[in-house]
Structure 1
Amino acid sequence: MSVELYCSFCGKSNSDVTVLVAGPSVYICDECIDLCQEIVLERRKVKEVESVDKNAADLYRFLYGSAGGAFDRAVVCPHAILQEQTGLDEAQIKAAIALLTERHMLQVMPCGEDCSLYLMDGLPAETKFNDLSQSYSIKANVLVKPNPEIKLFS
């Protein structure tokens, strides 16, 4: 009888993953290894950008954190929130976005007045094309400023 082992990070069993690597009293699956490699590479890229432009690195960190990090890669954010949260002015944000776009770390899609959709490292995992409407459906986090006159959540 074989013993069922589980990934110490995500909890998946060895029968649910391709590879389960054993460590000293811990296990990690191939999917979590891939995710960890992605996180390490992401941090290296941000450090490289930071050596060129600290503002670009700060902007990316804010967007990456707002998007949900390694799991989700899209966030809709009004320009005012971007300026407020990063402390950058419009010109600094524009320069930072240009650098991040040039390095293929960010794509920007306007989606309304003074608001944009920011995609980290290309397209997020949950992107679907609708043939009928000829449009994309993108799972994204949305940042909003609370308005005391509007009750969003009960």
Structure 2
Amino acid sequence: MSVELYCSFCGKSKSNTKALVAGPSVYICDECIDLCQEIVLERRKIKEVEALDKSAADLYRFLYSSTSGAFDRAVVCPHAILQEQTGLDEAQIKAAIDLLTERHMLQVMPYGKDCSLYLMDGLPAETKFNDLSQSYSIKANVLVKPNPEIKLFS
């Protein structure tokens, strides 16, 4: 009788992964390896940007922390929240965005009045095109300030 092996990090069985690497009494699947590699690369990128401009690194950290993981890299954020959460003024934010865009770490799209859609790492967000309305729907994390006059959640 063989014992089924599992990833020590996510719990997936060997049969549900492409690869399972064994270590001393631990196992890691290919998906967790990819995620770990992405985390290491992300930290390296932030350190490189921080050496050039601390404001850009702060902005990137805030936006990255607002995403829900490696696969949802789109954030809709009002400019006021960006300023409040990063402590940066408009000129600093513009300079930070320019640097991050130049380094292909961020794409910015207007999203209404005083609000933008930020695509992390220049990666496309999950999108679907609607032929009927001739428009795209984009899966994104949306940041909003609570308003006591509007009940968003029950």
What TM-score results when the alignment is normalised by the length of structure 1?
A: 0.94
Q: How does 1:40-119 map to 2 (within 5 A)?
A: 40-119=40-119
- Where structure 2 has 5 or more consecutive residues not aligned to the other structure, the ranges are none
Provide the rounded CA distance (Å) in 1 between the counterparts of 2:125 and 2:35. Answer: 13
Provide the rounded CA distance (Å) in 2 between the counterparts of 1:94 and 1:17. Answer: 43
Provide the rounded CA distance (Å) in 1 between the counterparts of 2:117 and 2:44. Answer: 24
Classify 1:133/1:123 alpha carbon distance in 2 versus 1 (closer, same or farther; 3 Å): farther
CA contact (8 A) 1:72 1:124 kept: no
Give 1:132 deviation, angstroms: 4.0
CA contact (8 A) 2:56 2:96 kept: yes
1-10 vs 76-85, which deviates more?
1-10
Aligned to 1:8: 8
Map Cα deviations across residues 47-86 of structure 1 (whole Å, 9 max, x no partner): 0000000000000000000012424211100000000000
CA contact (8 A) 1:20 1:30 kept: yes
Provide the rounded CA distance (Å) in 2 between the counterparts of 1:89 and 1:95. Answer: 10
Provide the rounded CA distance (Å) in 1 between the counterparts of 2:50 and 2:17. Answer: 36
CA contact (8 A) 2:119 2:125 kept: no
For residue 10 of structure 2, give the secondary structure of its aligned residue in structure 1: coil
- Where structure 1 has 5 or more consecutive residues not aligned to the other structure, the ranges are none
Kindly tell me the number of residue pairs found equivalent between the two proteins. Answer: 154
Give 1:124 deviation, angstroms: 4.7
CA contact (8 A) 1:55 1:96 kept: yes
Give 1:107 deviation, angstroms: 0.4
Classify 1:110/1:97 alpha carbon distance in 2 versus 1 (closer, same or farther; 3 Å): same
Give 1:26 deviation, angstroms: 1.3
Sequence identity, in percent?
90
71-80 vs 53-62, which deviates more?
71-80
Classify 1:119/1:145 alpha carbon distance in 2 versus 1 (closer, same or farther; 3 Å): same
Map Cα deviations across residues 92-147 of structure 1 (whole Å, 9 max, x no partner): 00000000000000000111000011010123563333344443322111000011
What RMSD, in angstroms, separates the aligned Cα atoms of the two structures?
A: 1.4
Provide the rounded CA distance (Å) in 1 between the counterparts of 2:146 and 2:6. Answer: 42
Q: How does 1:25-44 map to 2 (within 5 A)?
A: 25-44=25-44
CA contact (8 A) 1:75 1:140 kept: yes
